[in-house]
Every structure is written in C-alpha cells, then in structure tokens.
Structure 1
C-alpha cells in the first residue's frame, strides 16, 4: 500500500483480559474495536487518521512475546485494510541479521511499513555499523514488499541520537519512505528539511505537534490521539494548512494530557486515561507494565478531566 504520510497516525493500545487461569492475555476483539473507532473518527475538516501503528511502546511491545506480537499485528491488519490505511510496526534488534528476520516476519502478517529502531547494543555503534544495519533492513524490506522508516529515538535506544548526516544518508535509500523523529527538540527536523525540503518526517511526541509542523514535519504518530482522535486529526488538519493559531489552541487544550506522552511511564499513564475516557478504568489498568500508585492515578484523572473540559469548549470530543 502506498503510504500518505501527510497526517497523523495513532499508536494504538493493546487491550488485555484475564484468562481463566488468571494470567493476562491479549483481547483481540477489544483491540480491534478500539482501533476501528479511532480510524473512523473525522476531524472538523473531514479527514481521518492516515495510518495505524500497532505493537509500539503504547501497544505493550516490550512485554509481548514474538508469537503474541505477530498475532496482534495480524489482527490489526484486518482493521487497517478495512479503513484502507497502512499498518506500521516497529522493529529493533541487536544485530542486522536478527533485524532482517524480524522485517521478514512482519511482512507476512500485513505490515506495510517497519519503523526501524537503532541497534539494541550495549556499546554505541559507529555510524558505519549503524548504516550497515539499516541498509540490510532496507534491502530485506524491498525483497519482501514493505518499506522502512528509520526511527530516531535516543531515549528508547539508550544512547545518542542518530546524526543528521546519517539520517540524510538513510533517507536516500530507495525503500525508505519517511523518517520518524521522537524528541522535544524539533530543531533536528528543521535542520533535515533545510538539507532536503522533500523529506517526509513524522514527529513522535504529542507535545510538539505544532512546533514540528512549523519545522517542516508532514505528520506525526500520536498517543493522545487514541483518547481524543477528533482533536488530534483536526489539529493536524490546521497544521497542514498553516493555520497555526487554530492548531495551537488545540495543542494548548490537550497539553495537560500530551505531557504524559513524553514521560517514561507513557504506556501506563495514557492507557489509564483511555480507560477513564471509556468508563473502563479496570480495563485501562490492565497492563503488563508497571502498577501505578494512587498519586499517579489521581494525577492522570485530573489531567484527563482538564483536557476534556478544554476540548468540549472547542467541540472536539467525539
């Protein structure tokens, strides 16, 4: 599927349920239902989400087995096809050979684009090693009919950001269709765009959606958009039209909640907020992640209520 990166894409949650034995397992029906509800929501300008991101940080990715991850993505591919959007999933490995196998596996279950994280190594790889890692991923993706998106996330990688010089080299590979930049410092986006105005760059942190657009990003991958999809889509509509005042009003309304997207416990925080939004606090608390204390729970509730009140004034709560 040819991807249209000019828009916003939700990194959807993986909903869980208790099995008969008391252990947590993936609730495929609820996961599909939530994803579909997000994708069908329209912004004020009539557009919808332009893609679906599955099994990411917000999708319990670091806690899932490979078998669970593959089953989850196969399930989400049905939703992506129904709404005619690309399915995107992340991949990271210690070696380039291991990464190539992951890319091959993702292609078999309907993933259209693989967001490739830097190598998961104990020592910081050289630019040469990093480039070779991505080159093999790009070649493998080309062979199996998918595309890749280098994913610059220094916090998740555990070491320094990919250099702008290397990102520009990677963007020239034929099967690289976009770059994902997850940082609150959007200057790297502007630097890349000044070097190549035709780049497609997606922002990965909700707090900087408007500033990333000003710097040249064509879209973003959102966590808060799961909870308030109408607001997220509408804000991106205004960003793409250069209507910065209108976009900024929505950003400010969302800010109390968007803040959580840039925190180490973003999965636990935002999943709880999603549960509150759907009057399903128990479901929202079901996660393989860390257990929140009462202070954290109360903070998320207060942030959610404030964002909802502000968005209701703007008629952006669907």
Structure 2
C-alpha cells in the first residue's frame, strides 16, 4: 500500500494501547507480543455490515507516546507495522516537537519503521506561535514527508492544546498541501468541522473524540479515530457503518449504549481510564493499570469499572460485544 494513495473516507481506526510487563528489576518494559496480539484482535473484528477497522493508530495519546523514549517509540511502531501489513491497513502515529526542524526529523524517523501517515501535533512550545510560524512548522513536516515517502495529518486538538490550536484559516491552507491526506479534529465542538467543510466540501476530516462521532459525521467528518473502539470494536465499526449510510437513528442507539464509557475519551486522563477499561475487558486489570502515566486512585478505578460494565450490558443487548 502506498501512503499517498490512502483514502480515509468512511473509515474508523483504533488508537491502540501499549501493553507493559515488569522486567526482572521491576521496571516496566513494553510487552511487544501482547501489544501486537491485542492490535491484531481489534483489526480482525467485523461490524454487522461486514467492514473492519480502516487503519491502525499506534503510539498516539492512548499509546503513551509522550512517555516513551524515541527508541521505545520506534521499536513499538516497527512491531505495529508487522500487524498493519498483515491486515493491509495503513499505520498511523503521532508526533510533536518544539521546532520545525525537530518535527521534520521525527517524520523521517517514523517513516523508517513503517509508519504511513504521521499525525502532527502543533509545536510543543511555551508561547503561542503566530499563524505563519504554525504554517511553517507544518510545511517543514510536509517537505520531510515527501522526502520520506509518507503523508501527514495535521492534528488539531484545541480542547487540550489551548493557544496551540490551529486556526481554521491555517487548516485550510494545510489541507491544500499534497502530503496532507486528512485533518484530524479532536474536539467536542464539531462546529469547527462544519466551518471547514463549508469552505471546502472535498476535505477529508477525521473526528477524534468518541462522544461526538455522530455529530461529527453530521458536520461532515468522513470517519474517525477511536479509543473506545479498541475496547468495543464491533460496536464502533457498526456505528460508523450506520453513519456512512446516514442511518442516524441506528447509529444513535449505539452511541447511547456507549455513552458511559465514551465520556472517558473526553477527559484529561483518557489514556489511563480507557487502558484500565481495556484491561477489564480482557480480564487483565493489573495489565490495564501498568502505565507510565498517572496512577489511578481507587475512586477512579471504581468509576471506570462501573462505566465499563454499564456500556457492556447495553451493547450486549444490541449484540455488539465481541
């Protein structure tokens, strides 16, 4: 599969977790076998309409990207590349840097381990860049992507990035770059998606928050990247199938069934919450709590467990639990 041929329309992709095990010294290290197995298990699942996940997102926010060393990230993505090739889907990963030179270097490094598309976060600087500085940062990543034979996906997350949010004007300019195959918009304010689509109806926009999958589809998003879909892939794929067909009532039934757990995808500790829910789902609560991130309190653990159980019970009634 050539990266520049990627079409994101009507696709939902799982943002998968990085699984850890304890080394002999007691430190956490990546469990590559378990991580690959869980990723493959998700890609095997079909929705009720017969479709599967349209890509694999590794070492993103839910994959503890910001906590891993460069060497760990590259090794992890090399392992994911094997799985992505087996299931003939593009491999996507995230990247962020302080400078345009830094992001260009990361894009090139990711290309060497099989990444097809790089989700590029805004610059990780203390002060907000100007629009021209923001554009130059992404332009550098696009030049590097062209040289490396991959594509990029500007990743706008205004709810988390604050003043580093990418303006709609810059997003529209970036979308015109040949190396940009889609925009990822992670926000509960889907009016951003609608604003972009009104300016350019041919844009490919992927939604990045599970709570608004349907609303994002109504606003014009062509697909999405899901965290909850790593836990309940049959439900997420089936919901996207209904969204693709404009079957909003059917899609809404599934969205409502997943509400309790989708809520976690819009929280600051989304990675820790959803990873633990994934651990519950696979009868490995201890594994779900092994993280380089924040250690959950007992109150948080109990809340995630209750939300997972409620979603599972609702989805079982719809025959949407794998």
Decide: shared fold, TM above 0.5: yes
Which residue, 3, 6, 12 being the options, matches 2:6?
3
Q: Distance in 2 between matches of 1:57 and 1:250?
A: 24
Structure 1: runs of 5 or more not aligned: none
- Partner in structure 2 of residue 73 of structure 1: 77
Counterparts of 2:7 and 2:250, CA distance in 1: 23
- 1:288 equivalent in structure 2: 292
Instruction: Compute the displacement of 1:158 (Å).
Output: 4.1
Aligned length: 318
Note the C-alpha offset of 1:279. Answer: 0.7
User: Residue 197 of structure 1: CA displacement?
Assistant: 0.6
Deviations 1:160-219 (Å, cap 9, x if unpaired)?
Answer: 521111100000001100000000000010111111111000000000000000000000
CA distance in 2, matches of 1:27, 1:211: 36
Secondary structure (helix, strand or coil) at the match of 1:199 reads coil
Question: After superposition, where does 1:54-203 map in structure 2 within 5 Å?
Answer: 54-203=58-207
Residue equivalent to 1:51 = 55
Q: Deviations over 1:31-82 (max 9, x none)?
A: 0000000001000000000000000111011110000000000000000000
Is residue 212 of structure 1 aligned with residue 216 of structure 2? yes
Q: Residue 35 of structure 1 corresponds to which residue in structure 2?
A: 39
CA distance in 1, matches of 2:21, 2:68: 14
Within a 5 Å distance, the mapping from 1:231-246 to structure 2 comes to: 231-246=235-250
The answer (yes or no) to whether the contact 1:119–1:157 under 8 Å persists in 2 is no
Q: How does 1:239-278 map to 2 (within 5 A)?
A: 239-278=243-282
Q: Distance in 2 between matches of 1:255 and 1:239?
A: 16
Contact 1:103 1:140 in 2 (8 A): yes
Shift of 1:157: 2.8
TM-score, normalised to structure 2's length? Answer: 0.98
* Matched-pair contact (CA < 8 Å) for 2:122–2:164: no
Shift of 1:154: 2.2
135-144 or 148-157: which moved more? 148-157
Is contact 1:41-1:230 (8 Å) kept?
A: yes
Q: What stretches of structure 2 of length at least 5 have no aligned partner?
A: none
For 2:189 and 2:284, locate their aligned partners in 1 and report how far apart those are by CA, in whole Å: 35
3-state SS of 1:303 partner: helix
Question: Which string of whole-angstrom CA distances, capped at 9 and with x for unpartnered residues, describes residues 109-150 of structure 1?
Answer: 000000011111111000000011111110110111000000
For residues 92 and 157 of structure 1, the distance between their equivalents in structure 2, rounded to whole angstroms, comes to 12
Q: For the Cα contact (< 8 Å) 2:123–2:164, is it kept in 1?
A: no
- Any runs of at least 4 consecutive aligned residues in structure 1 with deviations exceeding 4 A, and if so which? none
C-alpha contact (below 8 Å) 2:122/2:165 kept by paired residues: no
**1:259: how far off?**
0.1
CA contact (8 A) 2:120 2:153 kept: yes
Please report the TM-score for the alignment, with normalisation by the length of structure 1.
0.99
Once the two structures are TM-superposed, the CA of residue 225 in structure 1 deviates from its matched residue by: 0.3
Aligned partners of 2:142 and 2:151 also within 8 Å: yes
Separation of aligned partners in 2, 1:79 and 1:156: 30
Contact 1:38/1:226 (CA < 8 Å) preserved in 2?
yes
Compute the displacement of 1:155 (Å).
3.7
